[in-house]
Structure 1
Amino acid sequence: MAQGRVSDRGVEDGSAVAVLDRPAPETARPKLSRPRRVARRIRLARADVIVATGYLSLAVLVLSGQWLQPDRGYLIKSGQDQTMWEWFFAVTAHNVAHLENPLGTLLQNYPDGVNMMANTAMFGVGVPLTPVTLLFGPTVTFVLVLTLGLFGTAFAWYWLFSREVVSSKFAAAVGGLFCGFAPAMISHANAHPNFVVLALLPLIALQLIRMTRRANATRELRKARRNRDAFVLGLLVALQIALGEEPLLVFALAFGLFAFVYYLHAPGTGLRALRTITPTVLLAGLITVALTEIPLWWQFFGPQSYRSIEHGPMGNDLKALFQFPSESLGGLVSHGQNVAINPTEENSYFGWPLWIVVAVAAVLMWRERVVRAAATVIVVFTVLSLGATLMIGKTSTGINLPWKRLDHVPLLDSVLESRFTMAAIPAVAIILALATQRALDYWKVSATDWRPLALFAALIFALLPLTPTILPVVQRPDTPVFFTDGTVRHYISNGSVVIAPPPTAPDARALRWQVDSNFAFPLAGGYFVGPTGTSKKGRYGPDDRPTASLLIKAQQSNTVPVVDDAARAQALEDLRYWHADVIVLPPTDNGDTLRLTVDQLLGFPAKYVDGVWLWDVRGLVRDAGQPTF
């Protein structure tokens, strides 16, 4: 029986109980001559190379709009997140090149700074890609990380499926394709590389599976491999922490549930496996802590750290589960009501055809333990993703859901519940891969069997509407010459630049201007996650300063506010808080209103220099006690 034909009859018939239970081989393979070994490796690798090429080509196609114009292109659906991530990569490269601490910086949110470790700066790619960032700019790094993330995630899951779940490379390729290019992955590819670079998660799963299989090996073999297994696992987890902790948490919960359900049929085997791997896992945990203790301390206890961040209700709408994602062939024809949190969080847009195919496949293969475990993960994590109250078409039903009891649990309280559906992606892929394997097995028995054709037609029916389209890109405005030609340096005396109004989450363009000036100045305000007040609760952007709020209100209303002596005194206090050297008004909406407002706040008019209006306020702000950057 092929490996993908799974049942509960035991390991002796070669069933997919072998995914976790197959005994580790203890006999060596016959030795081959070097030419034969090379030929064998090439033959085995041929399919892997073809699959990898296909995945990489699709990833490049999806992001081709950004690749074709890396200097001016901007993924429009990212909001301000592309600017933020480019800034993360740029400041990481800047700190590495200048041998400065990459875990924190004063270049944004001056003078309080930003805790980079608490902002998912992805040092796991930002640090090694420093040469790319310095040579080609942060936009190239950004699109490169997204492209390799889609490709790497797909190929890593394909590798796991082809080595441990199914015998057919084609069936594994179907599963890997879905894992790497599922709707949620494409949605996050607009803006969130930390939820696109997920290749280490299947490698962690693969390492745990192989450790579990050795529960049936001799004590000597287990002991000989313990240190090596622990080091590999600990290193993989540490690297994933450097890429993104939220995906690691979601994945760990999903894999734990999968293993629990998988072993419900054979609890004795499960307990034996648990006893076997526990010492190795504990050792791996110590290795992970040793590798990450300084960054994690900085994240939770360092400057500008926070305990948790409240996002408010962020659950999936029930309708989203059955609709097609906006960036897909199905979405071009029938997207349906827009019920996503935002364009980068279409985490559950699987489409109704996929659910039909997965449900039918799960019923037909229900005897297989892997399918039961995968189906449980799909159901549980999909329900969790719906949030605390069931929403249908953006209308609350008043029905409370399980997440209501979990949203205050430490660590879980910082997770966007919508993202729990991403745990269902590899579970769905497992069912699709096993169904494909079964169809291929039927075909081997009889070339005229109608069932394989029905299965492949069902796969096309489910997956074709989810085929991703090219992510839309627009031209970003040029950075004002004031920042690019070095003029800004003439107005900086160890203080900050205050943009009118200071950058925030809705408008973070100033971060790009700072990058284009080669970090010639620190910025007041910004787009990041930091603590608010003394509560240690996280929020996006700094605490609101009265003058910043006044300028934002003036811009939004296009009305010059009444400026009295109290407003002028508050403006001076805020400028001193920011240690401001210069206020800069670049071309922006309602710029004349902002200019007149600042004129009245300061009592003197702006000067036009290199495409921007500016107010040199160094004479108003005390020079003493300013932190350096």
Structure 2
Amino acid sequence: MTGTTVPPQTWLGPVGLSVVVPAYHEEERLGPTLEALRRHLDLHLGTAPGDWEVVVVDDGSTDGTAAVAEAAAVGEPRIRLIRSDRNRGKGSALRLGVLASAGQRVLLTDADLATPVEDLEHLEKALAQGPDIQAAIGSRAHPDSRIERRQSRPRELLGRAGNGLVRAVAVPGIRDTQCGFKLFDGDRARAAFAASRLDGWGVDVEILQYFRKQGWAVAEVPVRWSHQEGSKVRPLDYLRVLGELARLNAGALAVAALYLLGALFLYRHRWADLQGTYLADSGQDQNQWEWFFAVTAENVSQLRNPLFTLYQGMPDGVNLMGNTVMLGLSVPLTPLTLLAGPEITLMLVFTLGMAGTAWAWYRLIRRRLAAGRWAAAVGGAFAAFAPPMVSHANAHPNFVVLFMIPVIIDRALRLCEGRRVVRDGVLLGLFSAYQVFLGEEPFLLAAMAMLIFAGAYAAFDRERARAAWKPLAKGLGIAAAVSVPLVAFPLYWQFFGPQSYHSVLHGDGAGNSPRALVEYASQSFFGDRETAERLSLNPTEQNAFFGWPLLALAAAVVVWLWRHTAVRALAVTCAAAALLSLGPRIRIPHTETVIPGPWRLLAHQPLFESVIEGRVAMVCAPVLGMLLALALDRIRRLRTREQRVLGGLAVAAALIPVLPVPLEVRDREPVPVFIAEGLWKPYVKEGEALVPVPLPDPAAADALHWQVAADFGFRLAGGYFNGPWGPERIGIYGATPRHLSNLLRDIRYGAEPPEITPEWQAQARADLEYWKAGAVVLPFQDRGLELRDTLTRLLGRAPVKEADVWVWRVGD
């Protein structure tokens, strides 16, 4: 309160309502406003000294504002004046007034009474609705509000746009943040303003954010509002609000910027040349994922079913819902894909998705574990950039774009508090439905981890579990009622629609070796590629590799902080996930001993039968991130500098070996000129398929990139996707193989061509008819001569050379 003058007052005792009026150059309007307030408050609250008070804060006016307030106070001791020595802004004035107030309730109103004081009755009714409601704010944007005098049309449109931007950035869910007519519980108002730091218009948003963080409910109430000439609020003030909020959240913005820089560093080689490079360790997944985004954009732009396509796997097509097309992103990003291409879309999803996931974990750690900003920042960074996440960052955006998982966890924890069960249950249902369209397998693993954590926490703290289970159960029921209708048809299509399948076969060895938990990944600073690849399915499935120093540190942290229930539950969750990730049979390193693993209990259960069990270890990444955040937060509060230094060195020694290095790239295979320049068009008619040689499959899917480059002008036989095989519809990778596709694949990779008999020729014709082939295309490649001669004998005629391919027209 430096530079503020508060005149001595006679103590009035407890006050029912305090009205705080910020005033700057309000000489003309303040007098009538104070008289209107006095009349209404006397009539509706009473005339006793403790019924009400009005606190006018003169924010450094140079006109007669203070004199008007002093004159009003002469005849009414319940009107008080506080003077600031200079103009600091609305936030400063409100803070001075609220902290000087004594009311059980505090009303904020502007000096122009744009909302008449008679509408106080509506705010009081809203505040009295229940113990959870701690603030009632006037909302001009409420559908039941009445605008009696409007601003000019341009000013109104600018104001709406500015308010919408502020709401979206700072307090989503609240229609009007800047209306000056607000009623608060007095003690909570004083706590909020005491914690506030903004002096300008942004204080309104800052206070609402504070209430939301504390879990204090805010009701929006319809009011009457009339534009007053001489209003101090300008549409551009909303930009100033955003600027103030940016300064207020500078630390958090710095954390977000560091996460974005980290993601850009990881993909820096790819961003350097989006068209000419290919992620070296992605196998064929980069081709597949670019195709997923591109085919979704094609379906949406042509108003086709986004759950199915015939562009691959002719003639049966592909069940897109049964593949990881991430409709939650690929559909809304359709304009970007159509405008800039799927290469840019995929890289933005990878880059922004990893940064956003780290930010979401950071926010969860800050909110739920009460860790300091930079401790939480380290925890969030590890959760998103841990070795298994970086491994999947080569190829699987559905396993690294996980920003909804922390949001879902936080909403489930809100349900346990039992404050707003219906609202939180509805939101949990919406969030869960959206996550289904981002990635079902990571959602399943997250749900399993949450169940383990909840069971462990309940075992360690039964009293809190008893208090939480009823609202949690009710909220989960509401969430199911909301989410099931939203996902019912897409999931029906996935499991029972065209080209649906079940039980994707991954083969033996999909579980982690125990050594994989303590070694380093290929993309880690201390990583050894040969060792990592020997202990994993492939470079994109290095699902553990946390390194022994980090696991040793985590064990020490658990022992150190064991008295905290959350730490115990996190330890159980991490240990259980690591054990499950070892698979149904666990081989003891350096021995021939094999023991049964707990995953065998889940391996053949619905949903779990398609999970690669080694991926369960990915659950450990956010758990270890949380333990790191708790450790760092505790280390910074150690008594001596020596202890803090030793603790920091221990964390550094555990993290430095697993720091990620940039993902490697290679030159991308060029699209054949035959495709790029449209020379294919005379050979493939509408409804026919192009048959590349060899046919595209999970080992070689460059033809998917050709199809994208040709703007989906043709369909493809073969492909890289998940689809059914056999009468039991077992899930496999790629189209169901046929004799001709197997023959061409074998020759391409070294097999000697067989003797071509009439039976082989008849089989080739049958396979081509099955694929509805229009043309067979053989690009120049290794063993191209053997492939060309074999096809010439099979088809009974020589091919045509077109640019850089050989072509056989085989359609009708």
Do the structures match in fold with TM over 0.5?
Answer: yes
Aligned partner of 1:98 in structure 2 is 302
Map 1:317-466 to 2 at 5 A: 317-331=513-527, 338-391=534-587, 397-442=593-638, 446=639, 448-466=640-658
1:532 maps onto 2:532 in alignment: no
Which piece of structure 1 moves more, 36-45 or 54-63?
36-45
Alpha-carbon distance between aligned partners in 1 of 2:727 and 2:547, rounded to the nearest angstrom:
44
Contact 1:87-1:512 at 8 Å conserved across structures: yes
Alpha-carbon distance between aligned partners in 2 of 1:485 and 1:470, rounded to the nearest angstrom:
34
Aligned partner of 1:273 in structure 2 is 468
Question: C-alpha displacement at 1:436, in angstroms?
Answer: 1.0
1:296 maps onto 2:491 in alignment: yes
1:583 maps onto 2:776 in alignment: yes
Relative distance call for 1:173 and 1:335 in structure 2 (3 A) is farther
Describe the SS at the equivalent of 2:534: coil
1:557 maps onto 2:750 in alignment: yes
Describe the SS at the equivalent of 2:539: coil
Aligned partner of 2:317 in structure 1 is 113
1:86 maps onto 2:290 in alignment: yes
Aligned partner of 1:541 in structure 2 is 734
Correspondence for 2:377 among 155, 173, 186: 173
Contact 1:558-1:593 at 8 Å conserved across structures: no
Alpha-carbon distance between aligned partners in 2 of 1:334 and 1:462, rounded to the nearest angstrom:
22
For residue 541 of structure 2, what is the amino acid of its counterpart? E
Aligned partner of 1:625 in structure 2 is none
- The structure with more radius of gyration: 2
Question: C-alpha displacement at 1:462, in angstroms?
Answer: 0.5
Correspondence for 2:427 among 217, 220, 232: 232
Aligned partner of 1:18 in structure 2 is none
Question: C-alpha displacement at 1:589, in angstroms?
Answer: 2.1
Question: C-alpha displacement at 1:173, in angstroms?
Answer: 0.7
1:569 maps onto 2:765 in alignment: no
Contact 2:526-2:657 at 8 Å conserved across structures: yes
Which piece of structure 1 moves more, 252-261 or 397-406?
397-406
Relative distance call for 1:39 and 1:295 in structure 2 (3 A) is closer
Relative distance call for 1:393 and 1:601 in structure 2 (3 A) is farther
Aligned partner of 2:689 in structure 1 is 496
Correspondence for 1:306 among 481, 501, 508: 501
Alpha-carbon distance between aligned partners in 2 of 1:530 and 1:427, rounded to the nearest angstrom:
34
Question: 1:357-379 deviations in whole A, cap 9, x for unaligned?
Answer: 11111111111111110110111
Describe the SS at the equivalent of 1:399: strand
For residue 490 of structure 1, what is the amino acid of its counterpart? P
Question: C-alpha displacement at 1:38, in angstroms?
Answer: 5.8
For residue 276 of structure 1, what is the amino acid of its counterpart? P
Relative distance call for 1:334 and 1:504 in structure 2 (3 A) is closer
Map 1:584-599 to 2 at 5 A: 584-599=777-792
Question: C-alpha displacement at 1:471, in angstroms?
Answer: 0.2
Relative distance call for 1:537 and 1:60 in structure 2 (3 A) is same
Contact 2:521-2:529 at 8 Å conserved across structures: no
Alpha-carbon distance between aligned partners in 2 of 1:393 and 1:520, rounded to the nearest angstrom:
53
For residue 179 of structure 1, what is the amino acid of its counterpart? A
Question: C-alpha displacement at 1:36, in angstroms?
Answer: 3.8
Contact 2:269-2:664 at 8 Å conserved across structures: yes
Question: C-alpha displacement at 1:259, in angstroms?
Answer: 1.5
The structure with higher relative contact order (CA 8 Å, sep 6+) is 1
Question: 1:384-416 deviations in whole A, cap 9, x for unaligned?
Answer: 001112235697532111112221111111110
Aligned partner of 1:624 in structure 2 is none
Question: C-alpha displacement at 1:35, in angstroms?
Answer: 4.7
The gaps in structure 1 that reach 5 residues or longer are 1-22, 215-221, 620-629
Map 1:190-205 to 2 at 5 A: 190-205=394-409
Alpha-carbon distance between aligned partners in 2 of 1:608 and 1:373, rounded to the nearest angstrom:
67
Contact 1:154-1:176 at 8 Å conserved across structures: yes
Which piece of structure 1 moves more, 248-257 or 325-334?
325-334
Relative distance call for 1:616 and 1:146 in structure 2 (3 A) is same
The gaps in structure 2 that reach 5 residues or longer are 1-130, 135-184, 194-198, 208-244
Question: 1:165-208 deviations in whole A, cap 9, x for unaligned?
Answer: 12411111111011010001100000000001011000000111
Aligned partner of 1:140 in structure 2 is 344
Question: C-alpha displacement at 1:157, in angstroms?
Answer: 0.3
Correspondence for 1:471 among 633, 643, 663: 663
Question: C-alpha displacement at 1:559, in angstroms?
Answer: 2.6
Alpha-carbon distance between aligned partners in 1 of 2:299 and 2:591, rounded to the nearest angstrom:
47
Question: 1:336-371 deviations in whole A, cap 9, x for unaligned?
Answer: 673111000111100111011111111111111111
Aligned partner of 2:171 in structure 1 is none
Alpha-carbon distance between aligned partners in 1 of 2:132 and 2:279, rounded to the nearest angstrom:
47
Alpha-carbon distance between aligned partners in 1 of 2:710 and 2:482, rounded to the nearest angstrom:
40
Q: Which has the higher helix share?
A: 1
Relative distance call for 1:409 and 1:286 in structure 2 (3 A) is same
Question: C-alpha displacement at 1:335, in angstroms?
Answer: 5.5
Relative distance call for 1:44 and 1:163 in structure 2 (3 A) is farther
Structural RMSD (CA): 1.9
Alpha-carbon distance between aligned partners in 2 of 1:450 and 1:257, rounded to the nearest angstrom:
38
Describe the SS at the equivalent of 1:420: helix
Contact 2:387-2:546 at 8 Å conserved across structures: yes
1:128 maps onto 2:323 in alignment: no
Question: 1:451-488 deviations in whole A, cap 9, x for unaligned?
Answer: 22121111100111111101001111210111121221
Alpha-carbon distance between aligned partners in 1 of 2:202 and 2:798, rounded to the nearest angstrom:
80
Aligned partner of 1:156 in structure 2 is 360
Contact 1:554-1:561 at 8 Å conserved across structures: no
Q: TM-score, normalization: structure 2? A: 0.70
Contact 1:324-1:334 at 8 Å conserved across structures: no
Relative distance call for 1:362 and 1:587 in structure 2 (3 A) is same
Alpha-carbon distance between aligned partners in 1 of 2:337 and 2:546, rounded to the nearest angstrom:
35
Aligned partner of 1:14 in structure 2 is none
Contact 1:339-1:393 at 8 Å conserved across structures: no
Aligned partner of 1:511 in structure 2 is 704
1:245 maps onto 2:245 in alignment: no
Relative distance call for 1:503 and 1:175 in structure 2 (3 A) is same
Question: C-alpha displacement at 1:228, in angstroms?
Answer: 2.0
Q: Which has the higher strand share?
A: 2
1:76 maps onto 2:271 in alignment: no
Question: C-alpha displacement at 1:558, in angstroms?
Answer: 5.1
Alpha-carbon distance between aligned partners in 2 of 1:569 and 1:257, rounded to the nearest angstrom:
58
Contact 1:124-1:242 at 8 Å conserved across structures: yes
Relative distance call for 1:39 and 1:232 in structure 2 (3 A) is closer
For residue 56 of structure 1, what is the amino acid of its counterpart? L
Question: C-alpha displacement at 1:332, in angstroms?
Answer: 5.9
Question: C-alpha displacement at 1:272, in angstroms?
Answer: 2.5
Question: C-alpha displacement at 1:42, in angstroms?
Answer: 4.5
Alpha-carbon distance between aligned partners in 2 of 1:263 and 1:227, rounded to the nearest angstrom:
23
Relative distance call for 1:580 and 1:336 in structure 2 (3 A) is closer
